């Protein structure tokens, strides 16, 4: 579900993973049509890192 959000509304992913300042910056980037693609890539990358960090925390 979050992956779909990362592609359609990239800024919302940052709010769901607890990074509101990055979410605001991503929203500003996303407002421009050209910035939508980098915002989506950044959101998918951040989501991937968040999932990896969560798995590592769960191991300990």
Q: What is the pLDDT of residues 31-53, one digit of tens each?
A: 887 888 899 999 999 999 999 99
Kindly state whether residue 1 falls inside one of the protein's structural domains. Answer: no
- How many separate domains does the chain show? 1
pLDDT at 26 over 80: yes
What pTM value is reported for the model? Answer: 0.84
**What pLDDT score was predicted for residue 12?**
92
Kindly state whether residue 30 falls inside one of the protein's structural domains. Answer: yes
Kindly state whether residue 50 falls inside one of the protein's structural domains. Answer: no
Kindly state whether residue 45 falls inside one of the protein's structural domains. Answer: no
Question: Residue 32 in 3-state DSSP?
Answer: coil
- Give the structural domain span for 21: 15-39
Please say whether the beta carbons of 10 and 18 come within 8 A.
no
């Amino acid at each position: 579900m979050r992956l779909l959000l990362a592609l359609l509304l990239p800024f919302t992913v940052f709010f769901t993973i607890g990074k509101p300042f990055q979410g605001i910056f991503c929203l500003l980037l996303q407002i421009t049509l050209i910035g939508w693609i980098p915002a989506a890539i950044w959101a998918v990358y951040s989501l991937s890192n968040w999932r990896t960090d969560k798995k590592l925390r769960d191991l300990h």
